[in-house]
Structure 1
Amino acid sequence: MVGGGEGAFIGAVHRIAARLDDRYELVAGAFSSDAGTSQRSGQALGLDPQRVYADYAAMARQEAARPDGIEAVSIVTPNHLHAPVARAFLEAGIHVICDKPVTTTVEDARMLQALARKQGLLFAVTHNYSAYPMVRQAQQMVREGQLGELRVVQVEYAQDWLAEPLEQDGQKQAAWRTDPAKSGGGAIGDIGTHAWQLADTIVGRPVQALAADLASLVPGRAVDDNVQVLLRYQGGARGMLWASQVAIGHANGLRIRVIGSAGGIDWCQEQPDELLYTPLGEATRILRRGTASAGAAAARLSRIPGGHPEGYLEAFASLYSEIAAHLLARRGGGNAPSDAQFPTIDDGLRAVQFIETVQASARAGGSWITVPH
């Protein structure tokens, strides 16, 4: 792991997720650029001090030279470091698992895409919400045509943790996420990219054009904290994405509604085991994970019987396990199961292209702009 040392949030989440299904062992890390902090973090995790580094580049070189060196690296640093860290490990011949957004610029994302292909290495991006069982259920229903011809996509991600200027008080997570040099964008890059990727996973067709409004509603904030985007999908569906980190009363309100000519579905991350399904002219049905109402796509990511909630950490773990299936297949020279899916560097590039198109539209006063693919 690179990043995720003392005081970090997402590093611990990745470590729990990677271990939950017994598919990974953490053996090395560069947890901080400060040598003391990195060593203390490694000691707390029970690692060999010789495999705890203060320099990610040294870690890549030395681990690649070891007969028992790491197979993959998990990158959980602030966004601006994703590209240089990933490049170092790809060049060393090590598979990469990277937090989102994969980079802060399209140019860096293209560079990593080309390098991963040249090296023949796996590059995964941890959009964990795509691995919830009922998200896979929704994806399956759309693919099978149960909603008919798609008409409307509404996706939102509402939080309130940045409703006050926490960055001015030195709060670590707020400080780097609201620094444009480190984040590459505010709400659109931090949670808007999750909303986009959730819709992308379920809908299965690209956004062709968008018109966006970005706002910094907290006085003095240097990045956007509220985003509203109109979407036009390939095939004619219309959509809207709202991402806000100043939406008081909302903790982690990721929600998506997809409506077609024959029915509609509604999923909310805060009630993840349920998917609402309304066929045209019929009463709304509640499809539940772990029951006969859910299909094969949801069942393969369910660990425990219905009535026992599976949530954020389990979805993250499912994503890591999907990646593990591909890593093990590469180790053995075989093929991973066809239904073991995860976001790749290709998806990571498209996410950064989406972010930059949103920013370009906002700078142009909300003009419609074509999204590159």
Structure 2
Amino acid sequence: MHKRLKLGMVGGGQGAFIGAVHRIAARIDDEFELVAGALSSKPEVAQQSAAQLGIAPDRAYADFKEMAKAEAARADGIDAVSVVTPNHMHFPVAKAFLEQGIHVVCDKPLTANLDEAKQLAEIGKASKVEFVLTHNYSGYPMVREARHLVQSGALGKLRRVNVEYAQDWLSEAITDPENKQASWRADPKQAGKGGAIADIGTHAMQLANFITLQTPEILAADLTSFVKGRLVDDDAHMMLRYASGAKGYLLATQVAPGNENNLRIQIYGEKAGLTWAQENPNQLWFAPLNAPKQLLTRGGHGTSAQTQGQIRVPPGHPEGYLEGFATIYRDAADLIRNGRCENCLLPTLEDGLLGMQFIEAAIQSSAHDSAWTRIGD
């Protein structure tokens, strides 16, 4: 009998955005049931949030450490915890649950700084449980089709990787203290040293790494805080160099009027190129050299059997953001149940550590007049 895994959540209470996204995604494939939570650092908000979500009062916790110990001791304790707090809480929360032998699904970036990321990676290695990072764009079917095309050799040797993530929602100073999503992202005590580079730059980098199956070795970055008084960057652009000889460009900006969630990637090889855009996620342009461009669609003719097996709704019906998260949760459930996952492409602790090394390298490069800086040093 297929039983839902028992899920707990830290963060994601009233007024939070990403917690609701994770809860929806965890239920799309009916793999998880939310049964426990420490949903807010404020006890009254934690209790009220739990009641709204149907969590029993004895499993609505005021403290995540108490939750980790209590759930590990229960015969019906949670199988996994979803960490959906601001960045500065990722490390202590994930650590507490890993040390109690509870699987962790954590929002990105991995931690608030590189030292914490290194510590968490060691803790994860020593534990006997799984750690999954929710870089949801890698769960999109046509992103996986792009990866398949690169892996199959259809593009030939890669020459150029261009990835951009542009938003406009932080183009002005934050004047409303109730705007929780903006406020904590602009606060280095909660977000860490990185602003746009951590919030969306890590998504752009992971997307490029995922599709190309390569990671850049060195970068030259220019980070800027355009909004007066802002303590973290709101715009970042950089050049990238790969060991294979490929060159890249990455832009991550949250001060670009007219852009809502404009994540797009272009990859060019010796034999072909491809283009994918998140705001039209069910289409992938494939351009063989000296031949007409081909429009590949999710569920349409010409896509691989592997991609066809990823879709949930019929061709022509949109599938995107929530389903991308759901694919991560579905594969995580398979991994937790079986200790392995066929065709899983889950972002891991190692991906999270690489993301933090990327942030640190970009900050260091920018501080030294965009000097070429090795990622991971």
Matches within 5 A, 1:1-373: 1-166=9-174, 169-184=177-192, 185-330=194-339, 335-337=340-342, 339-372=343-376
Q: CA deviation at 1:275?
A: 0.1
Q: CA deviation at 1:170?
A: 4.2
What amino acid is aligned across from residue 190 of structure 1 in structure 2?
D
What amino acid is aligned across from residue 359 of structure 1 in structure 2?
I
What amino acid is aligned across from residue 297 of structure 2 in structure 1?
R
Question: Unaligned 5+ residue runs, structure 1?
Answer: none
CA distance in 2, matches of 1:107, 1:83: 10
Secondary structure at the aligned position of 1:15 is classed as helix
Secondary structure at the aligned position of 1:336 is classed as coil
Q: 1:77-109 CA distances to partner (integer Å, 9 max, x unpaired)? A: 000000000110011111111000010112211
CA distance in 1, matches of 2:175, 2:167: 16
Secondary structure at the aligned position of 2:217 is classed as strand
Q: CA deviation at 1:186?
A: 0.4
Superposed structure 1 runs of 4+ greater than 3 Å apart: 167-170
State the TM-score, normalized to the length of structure 1: 0.97
Question: Unaligned 5+ residue runs, structure 2?
Answer: 1-8
Secondary structure at the aligned position of 2:241 is classed as strand
Q: CA deviation at 1:169?
A: 4.6
Deviates further, 108-117 or 277-286: 108-117
What amino acid is aligned across from residue 365 of structure 1 in structure 2?
D
CA distance in 2, matches of 1:299, 1:319: 17
CA distance in 2, matches of 1:163, 1:182: 20
What amino acid is aligned across from residue 160 of structure 2 in structure 1?
V
- Count residues in correspondence: 368
Q: CA deviation at 1:371?
A: 1.1
Q: CA deviation at 1:54?
A: 0.9
CA distance in 2, matches of 1:33, 1:230: 40
Aligned Cα root-mean-square deviation (Å): 1.0
Q: Which residue of 1 aligns with 2:5?
A: none
Q: CA deviation at 1:299?
A: 1.4
Q: CA deviation at 1:292?
A: 2.0
CA distance in 1, matches of 2:308, 2:49: 37
Q: Does the CA contact (< 8 Å) of 1:167 and 1:174 recur in 2?
A: no
Secondary structure at the aligned position of 2:318 is classed as coil
Q: CA deviation at 1:367?
A: 0.2
Change (3 A) 1:28 1:147: same
Percent identical: 51
Secondary structure at the aligned position of 1:25 is classed as strand
Q: 1:332-362 CA distances to partner (integer Å, 9 max, x unpaired)? A: xxx321x112000011000000000000000
What amino acid is aligned across from residue 350 of structure 1 in structure 2?
L
Secondary structure at the aligned position of 2:295 is classed as strand
Secondary structure at the aligned position of 2:81 is classed as strand
What amino acid is aligned across from residue 326 of structure 1 in structure 2?
L
CA distance in 2, matches of 1:48, 1:305: 37
CA distance in 1, matches of 2:136, 2:149: 20
CA distance in 1, matches of 2:243, 2:311: 32
Q: CA deviation at 1:167?
A: 5.1
Q: Does the CA contact (< 8 Å) of 1:212 and 1:366 recur in 2?
A: yes
CA distance in 1, matches of 2:296, 2:140: 14
Q: CA deviation at 1:297?
A: 2.8
Q: Does the CA contact (< 8 Å) of 1:167 and 1:175 recur in 2?
A: no
Change (3 A) 1:342 1:362: same
What amino acid is aligned across from residue 54 of structure 2 in structure 1?
G
CA distance in 2, matches of 1:74, 1:92: 14
CA distance in 1, matches of 2:263, 2:171: 17
What amino acid is aligned across from residue 153 of structure 1 in structure 2?
V
